[in-house]
Chain A
Amino acid sequence: MAKDVSIVLAGVGGQGTLIAGKLLGILALKLGWDIKVSEVHGMSQRGGSVITYVRMGEKVYSPIIEEGMADYVLAFEEVEAVRWANLLKKDGTLLVNSQKIKSLPVLLGNAEYPENIFASLKASDLSNAKILEFDALSAALECGSSKAVNMVMVGALSAGMDIDKALWEEAINEAFASKAKLIPMNLQAFNKGRDLFA
């Protein structure tokens, strides 16, 4: 029986949130669940803030995740966790990659990159949310490329979801079928992420 799950993938253009969303789509199809994945293309890919919504369950209508609706928020970059924190549901799970990518206003000196983001997130909790931070970038680099950050994040997500690990790995194999030589690295990154959260 499918349980309704809403997952936000928030990151910076180029971090691979779109591929992570596509992978979750393949996974839901394997589970026989209904699914909607909503992406934003175009402008936002030029290093802008990028958000992908994934909703799965028995029957999914709206492709959008709104305030207080997300069971999981995966922040691929630290400040993006703050930007999309409003989406996290009471008792939800917030997974934060500690990687910091300074944006244009910060580089220009027109805005400050906040310090101690993880502590602020913890201190703002009203509802026993699970808030976890880890270094997905280092884990990805250990696997061979910063591009594997997305699979580390997906791996961490998988540790908290009650879905057979073999299905996740099948979905990764399918998602990267056209670039088969990248599969071992992505599987490794997935497992590293899974271990980080487990």
Chain B
Amino acid sequence: MKQIMLGNEAVARGAYEAGVKVVSSYPGTPSTEITETIATYDRIYCEWATNEKVASEVAIGASIRGARAMTCMKHVGMNVAADPMFTAAYEGVNGGLVFVVADDPGMHSSQDEQDSRNYGRAAKLMVLEPSDSQECKDFAKMAFALSERFDTPVILRMHTRVSHSRSIVELGEPEDIVVRPYEKNVNKYVMMPAMAIKRHVVVEQRTLDIAKASNDEFLGMGIHKIEMNDTKIGIVTAGASYQYVKEGVPEASVLKLGCVWPLPMDLIRDFASKVDRLVIVEELDPFMETEIKAAGIACEGKSLFTLQGEYNARMLRAALSDNALPEKALDLDKLPTAPGRPPLLCAGCPHKGMFLALNRLKVQVMGDIGCYTLGTLPPTAAMDVSVCMGASVGMAHGFDKASDGEDSRKTVAVIGDSTFLHSGITNLINAVYNQSSITVMILDNSITGMTGHQQNPASGMNIRLQPAPAIDLETLCRSVGVTSVRTVDPVDTFGVEQVVKEEIAKDCVSVIIVRRPCALIPTGKKPKGVSIVLNEENCKKCGACSRIMCPALVAGPDKKPVIDPEACNTCGLCINMCKFDALSKKEEA
């Protein structure tokens, strides 16, 4: 049967067909839909873990116990997972173990453009790279068998254009879930120096064995592909770049690699000998190019193409052929400039009232990763620094120590509930232990918002929306020694302002829990029959309500607010902004 599937859905399908039993992941664009799709296969145990390191350790445990296991993450998530992954590489597997990582060339929704293929070389793990949804399914399925055959974890490297493109997939029959017996084997599974020294020898030999199989067998298995055409130019490529090559330079001969670490150097050398000019087409780092050159094979790559962003067919056509480029229909010089359209905080977003308070206070804000990073933009413009998951709390402590505590009187850290539980809590413990005086605001909207509403330990639900224990953030913070813990509603923006003022003045670690559900989840949706209405007589046309830039409220031609009842969440932030009681909530009788 054929189905149209997102690359991510196809990875999940492949794992399902391979008989995967345990999947543990932390959400991250563009990888999230893999685990969400896994949750639709009832026979698979799956979970949202607190972070990628935890998720990887769950998968490693499941594999050693004998089950096929998988963990999925975005590229920066692999940095978090790297510690267990590097040593799991020494221990090998029992049941097949797959690390799926999704890179984001072009940074559609990421803070950097790291090339995760480098992890294959660094951790000495096989890296498979699919180029469309069919290969996503096939490679994911094969990854488990290869993992068991070579006794190694396997990295399945995705990227945005493959993860988030839909194409046709031929479905296969699912294999039964098999759990192999577990046998204690400290020489393989306890990496103390004496054991690890021996395992390192095994790891290096394994890489040679995989390279040999890649040269000899992977063509026949459909992992690599050779398409001989005009031999004036031969292109070595992988992933979505292969699609751009076929589109832009269809006349070229192509060696498409499905396994990009270790590289099949004999295959590449043989292909190179058959073409006049060898060109390596790969987005981001010159990963293959560097290795191919080091093997003494002449080629071109980054001398022709950029290190940044996504590639496309036009770019390859312009660089490698005389083929005409497509002609545009319109004379763009005759068109007006389209104003930018950056993303913004939604109508009813609980982050807005809090950021407006921070903006009025003119405090320094250590930011974190989530929807609330948008608090950087006007009209709230209340963020100074944002690095990675959990960093806000540590950076606030760094500001505190660098300024002998002085900056903590004018600095807060803001961090979402999911991000706090991912890696903010360890920073909070560190700050208490090391006698900081920081103020941490936990933005508890009871969901992981930015990635599309995944459950977390504060949600009270698991990945399958079944009831689950909800962690009590107040108790958690008090239990690690925070003496001042307060809870506020962000719609009460002036109340938030007052509480922040009081807490930053204190010479101890303070936590302010800013609690209101995300406006896009069932508990955050507007109650039925409620609307916000304008009392025309009271309105002084001051613009205080429209300056908050709520997508549901704009100033009309007469400067009075016009509310879009369909978009309005009735959160009431605009009511609180009005000093003249011109806005109020109306409930239908």
Contact = CB atoms under 8 A, between A and B. Distances in A.
Interface string B64-86: 00000000000000000000000
Given A26-B4, A39-B165, A146 B566 contact: yes
B336 A82 contact: yes
A110 B264 CA distance: 54
B184 interface: no
Please classify how large the interface on chain B is, using the bins under 10, 10 to 19, 20 to 34, 35 or more.
35 or more
A124 B166 contact: no
Given A43-B109, A102-B554, A113 B339 contact: yes
B336 A35 contact: no
Interface in A92-142: 92, 94, 102-108, 111-114, 117, 120-121, 123-127, 129
Given A62-B243, A92-B329, A49 B339 contact: no
B329 A89 contact: yes
Given A41-B29, A88-B329, A47 B339 contact: no
A40 interface: yes
A33 to B, nearest CB: 9
Given A21-B166, A38-B165, A64 B312 contact: yes
Nearest to A66: B314
Contact of B452 (A37, A41, A47, A103): A41
A125 B335 CA distance: 10
Please classify how large the interface on chain A is, using the bins under 10, 10 to 19, 20 to 34, 35 or more.
35 or more
Given A41-B108, A42-B108, A123-B334, 8 more contacts: A26-B4, A37-B166, A60-B167, A62-B247, A68-B327, A86-B328, A104-B344, A127-B327
Contact of A120 (B310, B329, B335, B374): B335
Interface of A: 12-13, 21-22, 25-26, 28-29, 34-49, 60-64, 66-69, 79-80, 82-83, 85-86, 88-92, 94, 102-108, 111-114, 117, 120-121, 123-127, 129, 145-146
B73 to A, nearest CB: 15
B122 interface: no
A106 B165 contact: no
Nearest to A34: B168
A82 B335 contact: yes
User: Looking at chain A's contact residues, is the secondary structure mostly helix, strand, loop, or mixed?
Assistant: mixed
A41 B109 contact: yes
B11 interface: no
Given A66-B313, A85-B330, A111 B340 contact: yes
Q: Which of B29, B247, B329 counts the most chain A CB atoms within 10 A?
A: B329
A82 B336 CA distance: 7
A36 B166 contact: yes
B389 to A, nearest CB: 15
A129 B330 contact: yes
Q: Which 10 A-B pairs have the closest CB atoms?
A: A42-B109, A68-B326, A114-B336, A48-B343, A46-B343, A111-B339, A124-B334, A42-B29, A62-B247, A103-B341
